Chain A
Amino acid sequence: MKDLVKRFPNQDRDVIRAISFGIVPRECVSLLGPSGCGKTTLLRLLMGIERPTSGTLAIDPSLIGHLSYVFQEPRLVPWRTSLENVLLPLELSGKAVDGSSAEVEELLTLLGLGERLGNFPRELSGGMQMRVALARALITKPKVLLLDEPFAALDERTRFRLQDLLLDLRARLDLQYVFVTHSISEAVYLGDRVFLMDKSGQINTDQPIAFPKRDQLLKVTPEFNDQVSAFARRFTALEGGA
């Protein structure tokens, strides 16, 4: 991505300016920044939901058509059951739909949806709804998943469980993701690298963070907490400086 500018018509400032970043193969990154800095906008530009005001958005051609997006809200179709919601992308893009194929079944089991396939979204908890939304994003077999604060509205226990689910999915499906969040500990926990975005829309990339093993126990280790406090200091500096 180069010299990218995005400006919304009702605002007098550019939300994003001149961003260029790359992800190395197999890497998963967190995109961290204060609210209103343009994290979501950047993700939406990547997905093609928004168009740049000027500049070019250049994405690695091998990724085109292999991105998938998870919104902040589950955005499930209320009149479709869990299974029908998961299969929706296939129906819409005119692909063959076989809800009972081994592949679909495997994905649903992986996401822990086995018993909830016939339920409508209103009958599901927030965490379950988000699992359905994740399955819907994964049904198209993307290489890179773009996640826009998907767990922000969930209670802490559910959030932790879904974070671990995401790590598990990553390992099993050979998945890469860009995870947007404003939670520092979530960013450190889920990202091999944390990109810090400041209020002018600039991105500061950083060295990879290596943890031997990522599980919820990691969060109580000093290594983890050192990383979190380091980012917290920089985060505060960014907010103050903007």
Chain B
Amino acid sequence: MNAQIRDKAPAWLFLLALLGIWQLIVGQGWVAAYLLPAPSDIYATTVELWPEIWSATQSTLSSIVWGLAASFAIGVTLAIGFFAVPILRRAVLPFCVFFQTVPIIAIAPLLVIWFGFGETTVKASAFIVSLFPILANTLTGLEETDPLLREMFQLYKPSKWKMISKLQIPSAIPYILTGLRISVGLATIGAIVGEFIAGGGLGSLIDSARTQQRVDLVFSGVMASSVLALLLVLSIDLISRLLLRRRPYTRSA
């Protein structure tokens, strides 16, 4: 416990110092409050408009979860398909790189044309940016099984599917979890960008606060989205830990 306090204390002290200096700078009028509101003002706004912020956060969270779930299902399935059928991989994988390289802000207007304003576009946007890390990580995991275990499995002449389901997929689980961890942050970005264009959630809250010159509310929205992303990463970590504690999936013995 003491060690933990010693470990974390510097970061908290630094945060407190930062907030103190920030409060001082704005309070003394060295920086205009309409450019940089004081932490106390941001806090007051957050408390005052909490119902709006909370409902926007829930809406964004739902889009992230949907987008990420779709990425997980489609990414893992595609990776297994690519792994099992190499020709499919050579034909399709190069085009999947599109998902990694497309600037989501550039494609968002197209999503609005296809799916209209609203949640579907936001989910699609979260999905597009979060697919590739899961796909690529799963594929790496499937390919990098321990050669010693592979040789041992082959003694028993398993079918291709048995090999995939009993060796390659379990070995890939840590890689899939890493992919999810990367993707959850990207899905948050995708959802908020989607909301800028298609409306709803924290993205729209931040955007409309901007047009109303409510910098304090912009800060509240930004804060809410960072905390949301952080909590999502922490939940993926927690799920990973629980899963691996129940069954020690690793690449090799």
Residues of A within 8 A of B (CB): 47, 49, 68-69, 71, 73-79, 88-89, 91-94, 120-122, 140
Contact = CB atoms under 8 A, between A and B. Distances in A.
B247 interface: yes
Contacts of A47: 155
Contact of A78 (B154, B159, B166, B249): B249
Contact of B253 (A69, A77, A88, A94): A77
Contact of A93 (B156, B252, B253): B156
Given A75-B253, A77-B253, A88 B166 contact: yes
A88 B165 CA distance: 12
B248 interface: yes
Per DSSP, chain A at the interface is: loop
B155 A49 contact: yes
Contact of A73 (B156, B247, B249, B253): B253
B170 A88 contact: no
Query: Considering residues B156, B157, B159, B249, which has the most beta carbons from chain A within 10 angstroms of its beta carbon?
Result: B156
B155 A121 contact: no
B96 interface: no
Contact of B248 (A49, A69, A120): A120
A129 B250 CA distance: 17
Contacts of B154: 49
B142 to A, nearest CB: 15
B148 A73 contact: yes
Interface residues of B, number: 21
Interface in B129-158: 148-149, 151-158
Contacts, number: 54
What are the 10 closest A-B residue pairs judged by CB atoms, nearest first? A92-B156, A92-B158, A75-B152, A79-B249, A89-B156, A79-B247, A93-B156, A78-B250, A78-B253, A78-B248
B157 A92 contact: yes
Nearest to B249: A79
Interface in B141-188: 148-149, 151-159, 162, 166-167, 170
A93 B149 contact: no
A79 B148 contact: no
Contacts of B247: 79, 120
A171 B167 CA distance: 34
Nearest to A76: B253
A74 B152 CA distance: 10
B14 to A, nearest CB: 39
Given A47-B155, A69-B155, A77-B149, A92 B162 contact: yes
Contact of B252 (A49, A78, A88, A140): A78
Nearest to B253: A78
A73 B147 CA distance: 13
9 contacts: A47-B155, A49-B151, A49-B155, A68-B155, A73-B253, A76-B253, A79-B247, A92-B153, A92-B156
Nearest to B156: A92
Interface in B215-253: 247-250, 252-253
A94 B170 contact: no
A178 to B, nearest CB: 15
A38 B132 CA distance: 46
B141 to A, nearest CB: 13
A120 B244 CA distance: 12
A74 B166 CA distance: 18
Nearest to B153: A92
A68 B247 CA distance: 28
A71 B253 contact: no
Given A77-B149, A79-B249, A91 B155 contact: no
A91 B148 contact: no
Contacts of B253: 73-78, 121
Contacts of A73: 148, 253
B240 to A, nearest CB: 14
B249 to A, nearest CB: 5
A2 B115 CA distance: 71
A93 B162 CA distance: 9
Contacts of A69: 155
A122 B149 contact: no
